[in-house]
Amino acid sequence: MKHKEKFIKKGVGAGKRADARPVPITVARKESAITLIALVITIIVLLILAGVTIAMVVGDNGILTRARQAKAETETAEFVEKVQVAAVGSLNTDGKVDLENLKSELEKIDIETDAEEFPVIVEKNDEKLFIYDDGEVVKDSSDEYIKNGLMVAYDGINNTGNGHDSDAKVWKDLSGNGNDGTLKGEAKWQDNCLNFDGIDDWVDIGKMNFENVTLEAVVMHSNVNKSGEQDFIANWDQSGCGLSYLQRNNMPCYINNDYIRCYGANPTKNNFKYCLSGKFDEKNIVLFENTKRYEQNAEGKMKQSNLNTILGANPNSR
C-alpha cells in the first residue's frame, strides 16, 4: 500500500507506469493536415481574387481599358472640333471654303495636306474626316457598314477606299469582298455621285445571285419623263431582280416565270433625292422609298440570272 500511495502522490493512475512519454504524434499530424488544407484554400481564394482584380483593371471592360477609350474619345472629339473651326474659319463671303486658307488654318493645328480639290481628307489617330467646300466636316463611315451578309457596298464620297477621286474608273467595294465595280460608257463623277445618261452608262459589278436579297441605292432623277425603263441596279434577262424606274420607283423580281414588282409612290420628282431599299424573302417584296414602306406579295423562288449585276443601263442587255 505504501508503494501504491507513492504512485498516486506522484500523479499517476493506479496500475499505470510513471514514465514520461511524449504527446502522441497522431494529434500533431491532424493539426498539420488542417493547416495545409486551410493554406491551399487561402491560396486558391487569393488567386481568384487576383484574377478578378486583373480583369477589372486590364480586361476588355476594365478600368484601364475604359480609361484609354475615354482618352481616345476625348482626343477624337477635340480633333473633330479643331478641324470644324478651321473649316469655318476658311469660309469666303460666298459661303465656300477657300482651299489655301483652309491649308493655313489646318497647319495651325499641326495638320498638313496637299489636297487640290474637295473634299479635303485629314486623319489623326485612325480618325478620318472629309472637309467639303461648304465647310461641312463629315466623319468617314466606311467601316460602319453592317458586314454580316453584306456582299458589295459602294460610296460616292469614298469611291477609292481612301477618299474620293473624280477620275476613278474603278468603284471600290467597301464590303471587304473585293467586288469592285468597273465604270463603262461615259459615267462621270459629279458632287461625289456617279452621273448616268440612262442609255449606255453603267458599272459592271460581276455575277451576284442570291435567293434572298436586299438592294439599297440613293438616286436622283434628272428626267422622270423618259420613255421606257431606267435601271439603277439590275441583273435581269427573264431572271434576277433589281431597283428601277418605270413610271415609279420599284423593285422587280423574276418569280414563277414572270416579273413581280413592288412600286413606290407616284409621281416621282425630278432633282429630288430618293433613298431606296428593297428586299425579297421568298414571300414578299418590300420597298422603302425614303420613309414610306410598300409591300407586294411574291411567294416563290427567284430565278437566278446568267448576267452580271450592273448599276445603270447596259445597252447590250438592259
Q: State mean pLDDT over 174-189.
A: 91
pLDDT for 62: 63
Confidence of residue 4 (pLDDT cuts 50, 70, 90): very low
pLDDT in tens, 228-285: 788 899 888 889 999 999 889 999 999 999 999 999 987 788 888 899 999 999 999 9
Question: Does pTM top 0.85 for this prediction?
Answer: no
pLDDT in tens, 85-128: 999 999 998 888 999 999 999 999 888 888 888 888 888 877 88
Percent of the chain with pLDDT over 70: 82
Which DSSP string corresponds to the chain? -HHHHHHHHTT--TT-----PPPPHHHHHHHHHHHHHHHHHHHHHHHHHHHHHHHHHHSTTSHHHHHHHHHHHHHHHHHHHHHHHHHHTTB-TTS-B-HHHHHHHHHTTT------SSSEEEEETTEEEEE-TTS-EEE--GGGS--TT------STTTTSSS--TT-SEE--TTSS---EEEETT-EEETTEEE--SSS-EEEEE----SSEEEEEEEE-S-TT-SS-EEEEE--SSS-BEEEEESEEEEEEEETTEEEEEE--SSPPTT-EEEEEEEE-SSEEEEEETTEEEEEE--SPBPPPSSPEEEE--TT--
